[in-house]
Amino acid sequence: MNRTRRWFGKGDRRVLTLTLPIILSNATVPLLGAVDTAVVGHLDSPHYIGAVAVGALIFSYVFWGFGFLRMATTGLAAQAHGRRDANGVRAVFARAAFIAVVAGLAVMVLQYPIIELAMSLIAPSPAVEASARDYFAVRIWASPATLMQYCMLGWLLAMRDSRAVFIFQVVLNSINIILDILFVQGFGWDVRGVAGATVIADYSGVVLGWFLMQPHLKRLGGTWRGIGILDRAQLSKLMKINGDIFVRTLALTSAFALFTSFSARFGEVTLAANAVLQNFLMFGSFALDGFAHAAETLVGQAYGAERRKQFLWAVRKTTIWSIISAVVMAALFAAAGPWIIDGLTSIPEVRAASYEYLVWAVILPITGVLGFQFDGVFLGAMQTKQWRNMMLLSVAIYGLFAWWAVETGSNHMLWAAFNAFFLLRGVTLALLFPTIIPDRRKAVG
């Protein structure tokens, strides 16, 4: 009994209580994508599926650049909470919300050049382009609400309210799914129905998010008056952090784009097989992202309070559980990999190629675990400059190895380079970790 308590105690329950709802809420995201595909997949032409895919891709790129609204809000609000600065916690959300609204309106104003540039780059068939434009013209009106949700999710994570995050994601995606079916299957609105469902769900999500924030605002106290939303120094600090996060995110996106681009050099079958196997990374990221979010919150609060022991405890506990989850995911992939591949594709040659390279997808959770985990640690401590620089270094090294893999004509080498990239992310940040530990002389506990 004593050994069990030492191995699994209150601290472990605290970490898992924070993490499990996040993992479950993350799992609802691909479900929504599957429903989007399914409702248009039963229409009378396959071009509707392509139109939704193209439209969703455009918005992924547009909104992906604003991911800093979620990340920076979590880290800064958690630190203010750790300092017991109620007005500071409010101010972090208010500044992020201000940027979200301004950015969302700017995206709406710039919708014409965005869609024209996207169509010139993607160059879909005329039928797909026409429907994708219909989808874009409707969904663009959700831009402010979509970005506002990033701020709300980040703020709720900073309050360690993973239950609210779970409710938020499940309700939001449930509304979207129900309206998808109603608008497309019931009213016959084709891709415009899918986009309209997203618009209504996103604005509903803002109302729900504000409601979920209220218990924390009452508990924290403080006031919205005089918090200095437009304080030049604080906005400058926020924009600097946001700039680091944006560059880092762009580098990460480029790494995935390189993998896909280089995969295409090996032919259609290998490209398709690599795309199938990348789904294993998406499945594994549900758990790894959950523990990274937990680290971001717990580390941020400890860092803000300058509590060295609490900081180290948060890093240790979340890292242990993250590694355990990575090993479990790798074991599941090794055991069920062929069945997962068969469920993702029915094309014999793609299945055969996927089996050949499966081992690399199996070990991705192991090679990637430290990268995911230290993402959360460095974000919680808001050490975004080092975080950005190590990502740039990792992408540069990965790019050289990936290029060499293409030159030698080896897809195995390309997968090795991809795994090395994830490993480099974690190792480089781990080497820098001692430099961000709160000063022993200043820390209070």
pLDDT digits (tens, 9 = 90+) for 109-168: 999 999 998 888 767 778 878 888 998 999 999 999 999 998 998 899 888 888 898 899
Give the least confident one: 124-133, 179-188, 318-327. Answer: 124-133
pLDDT greater than 50 at residue 103: yes
* Span between the terminal Cα atoms of the chain, in Å: 29
Give ∠ CA 371-375-378 in degrees, rounded to 5.
130
Rounded to whole angstroms, the Cα distance separating 62 from 106 reads 11
CA dihedral angle for residue 84, residue 376, residue 308, residue 306, rounded to 10 degrees: -30
Domain boundaries, the chain: 1-230, 240-445
pLDDT greater than 60 at residue 318: yes
- What value does the mean pLDDT of the chain take? 84
Rounded to whole angstroms, the Cα distance separating 403 from 392 reads 16
Judge whether 70 and 149 are in contact, CB under 8 Å: no
Q: What is the mean pLDDT of residues 225-249?
A: 77
Residue 365: pLDDT band (50, 70, 90) is very high
* 41 vs 82: which has the higher pLDDT: 82
Residue 206: pLDDT band (50, 70, 90) is very high
* pLDDT at res. 113: 94
Tokens of 37: 């595909």
Rounded to whole angstroms, the Cα distance separating 261 from 258 reads 5
Residues of the chain above pLDDT 70, percent: 90
* 363 vs 293: which has the higher pLDDT: 363
Non-local CB neighbours of 210 within 8 Å, separated by 6+ positions:
152
Instruction: Give the global pTM.
Output: 0.74
* pLDDT at res. 445: 43
* pLDDT at res. 29: 59
Residue 45: pLDDT band (50, 70, 90) is low
